[in-house]
Amino acid sequence: MRIGTWNLDRCPSSTSEKGQEVAARLDELKADLWLLTEVHRDWDPRGGTFAVSRPRSFDPDAPKRWAGVETSLPLTTLPSQSEHPGEEGLVLARVQVDGRDVLVACSVLPWRGAEQYWYGLPDGQIAQFHSVLEHHVERIRTERREDEPLVWGGDFNQALRRPVYGGTVEGMTALQSAFESLGLVALTVDAEHRNGHMRSIDHLAVSEHFTVASAETHRLTWSDGRNLSDHAAYTVDVELTGPDTGPGPTAVATRDERSRWTSWAGVRGVLRKGEQPPADDDLDDFDEQSVVARAGQELVERLLRTGIDGFGPFKPAAESAREALEGRTPEQAVSALIRNHCALAGAQGFVTNVGGLVTLPVTLPANVGASYLVQAHLAASIAAVHGHDLGGEQMRSAVLLCLLGNAGTEVLKRAGVTVGTKMSTALIKRIPVTVIREINKRAGFALVAKFGTKRAALTLAKGVPVVGGVIGGGFDVVATRAVGAYADRTFRPVVADDVPVS
């Protein structure tokens, strides 16, 4: 089954010259399900079925609508009586795939200046974005049946990864959280915008009921080479799996007509069937284009963002540090942080509580992913207790290296840093940002390798379920305590050494 999304730009009618060109391109791409935006009210689905969002408040008699669904599959539209202004940017429908119902949502979210064309929105771009996004999530939740597969796509007017040129950082965080709260994986995180200079603001996201084979970015043109739209079209080939028979969304090898790029979007399927993580002693073979290295890069980004900025039961690390220091010395605060994090790492039900709040891109059993997050948050909190600013890339990298313990010094060496027998913040702070980014790549690679050899629980193939509790709570407590102790030694104020950086 192929799904796609495309902003048609100025809602061409099916009978117009542009509309006929658009229809021809859609037919060439052979998607079974199209989530179309800026679409004509009377769009001809050419033998299929079409559902469209309600009239725009700006011009209710005009044929232009924000969102539509075109499909060759059996379709039932799910209208709403809600008066929320966000309703005009949403169409919900249910399609049948191999005899199973799949909920489909197509959205348009507000952009800067949207209030000129979209009446009833609150003041301010961020407030507008949140208002409509929250309404769409609530509508999806209301319509979705228990364990029903879900596809959500459209023009969200928001990039999902820094640097954010399309949208806002607040919008990026809110949209990531919305997808995660619904158990969805965005498959277009790394996709390029039509202009080739920024990340896509159009997205496709699917639930764990799907496995994903490949995805493509299409810069579609008229026959004479002119752009048909100011947006690229995006398609993804997916397979709907039976209940509890698949590992969820898999790695997505995504390409466009200019270059091949890869988006490691799956919650549980970064490593493809038959691909093994490297052994610890294979770290010399680091290749940043490899499957494991790309998985590691995505893991690093999630760990740093979520572990330092807070998640689920955890406040931002800096705030946790302030609370731990209330009435305590730094040494006492560190002990309290280690004690509390170890208790949580070993607690029954912790994974259940955290599940759904964060998603990791690597194929980790749930408790292992939660353990990594707990350890990253602990290390960052300890750094803050000792007075370090977590805003800089150097300190965030130091937090990451604490998860590797003594192996972190080997990562530094292989990134070209001259280091003695231990890591120190004085050393880390002198490392150039370009080298720090190389360190982070290698650290992510090492974390995946460490997990693959010492924990031996990667779920590699479709049909192998993720088994909770592969690593016992006792092991997680020991590992978390070790990370805390290492972080305390690393971040405790010391006289700066003179170790050179190369």
> Picking from 134-138, 261-265, 434-438, which range would have the lowest pLDDT averaged per residue?
261-265
pLDDT at 55 over 50: yes
Strand partners, 2: 237
> Picking from 97-106, 240-249, 297-306, 359-368, which range would have the lowest pLDDT averaged per residue?
359-368
Handedness of CA 128, 354, 300, 495 (dihedral sign): positive
- Coil, helix or strand for 265? coil
Q: Are 7 and 37 in contact (CB under 8 A)?
A: yes
Which candidate, 227, 125, 215, 221, places its Cα nearest to that of 170? 125
Q: Quick one: pLDDT at residue 437?
A: 83
Q: What are phi and psi of 400, to 5 degrees?
A: -60, -45
pLDDT at 228 over 60: yes
Q: Quick one: pLDDT at residue 302?
A: 75
SS3 of 184-228: the string is: EEECCCCCECCCCCCECCEEEEEECCEEEEEEEEECCECCCCCEC
Confidence of residue 42 (pLDDT cuts 50, 70, 90): very high
* 146-199 confidence digits (pLDDT tens): 999 999 999 999 999 888 888 998 999 899 889 988 988 888 988 999 988 899
122 or 243, which is more confident = 122
> Picking from 109-118, 277-286, 407-416, which range would have the lowest pLDDT averaged per residue?
277-286
Q: Are 479 and 371 in contact (CB under 8 A)?
A: yes
What does the alpha-carbon distance between residue 460 and residue 258 come to, in Å, rounded to a whole number?
A: 30
pLDDT at 277 over 50: no
pLDDT at 135 over 70: yes
> Picking from 130-139, 176-185, 366-375, which range would have the lowest pLDDT averaged per residue?
366-375
Can you give the residue ranges of every domain in the chain?
Answer: 2-263, 280-491
Hey, what are 23's tokens? 């229809």
SS3 of 138-171: the string is: HHHHHHCCCCCCEEEEEECCCCCCCCCCCCCHHH
Q: Quick one: pLDDT at residue 423?
A: 66
What does the alpha-carbon distance between residue 268 and residue 257 come to, in Å, rounded to a whole number?
A: 28
Which candidate, 324, 235, 226, places its Cα nearest to that of 27? 235
Hey, what are 278's tokens? 């490297």
Strand partners, 3: 33, 236
What does the alpha-carbon distance between residue 174 and residue 344 come to, in Å, rounded to a whole number?
A: 26
Please, which residues have CB within 8 angstroms of residue 87's CB and are 6 or more apart in sequence?
Answer: 53, 54, 80, 135, 139
Q: What value does the mean pLDDT of the chain take?
A: 79
The domain defined by 2-263 folds into: Deoxyribonuclease I; Chain A (3.60.10)
Confidence of residue 99 (pLDDT cuts 50, 70, 90): very high
Hey, what are 222's tokens? 């008229």
What does the alpha-carbon distance between residue 85 and residue 121 come to, in Å, rounded to a whole number?
A: 6
For 17, 317, 380, 382, 383, the CA distances from 387, given in Å and listed in that order, are 64, 12, 11, 9, 7
- Coil, helix or strand for 39? strand
